[in-house]
């Protein structure tokens, strides 16, 4: 990419080129994971549990100190 501004036509051509390119290994694994029936079922169950138990007045819990990075 150069430092010049892209025209809408240039942007469209760049996006078409990216869309036509084969996916890299990481994206291929992600797509396969997201298409998995078990993943979709688990995601739906988790979303339902969250929406059922979420309250507007609930406060977020503080993170345990072992998760937080050490202060330098």
Q: Supply the pLDDT for residue 10.
A: 92
Provide the b/e sequence for 39-61 (b: ≥16 CB within 10 Å). eeeeeeeeeeeeeeeeeeeeeee
Q: Supply the pLDDT for residue 52.
A: 72
What average pLDDT values come out for the chain (72 residues) when binned by 10 residues?
80 92 86 88 88 67 69 62
Q: Are 26 and 18 in contact (CB under 8 A)?
A: no
- Tell whether pTM > 0.75: no
């Amino acid at each position: 990419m150069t430092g010049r501004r892209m025209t809408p036509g240039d942007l469209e051509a760049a996006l078409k080129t990216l869309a036509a390119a084969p996916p890299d290994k990481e994206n291929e694994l992600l797509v396969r994971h997201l298409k998995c029936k078990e993943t979709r079922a688990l995601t739906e169950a988790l979303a339902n549990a969250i929406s059922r138990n979420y309250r507007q007045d609930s406060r977020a819990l503080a993170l345990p100190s072992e998760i937080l990075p050490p202060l330098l």
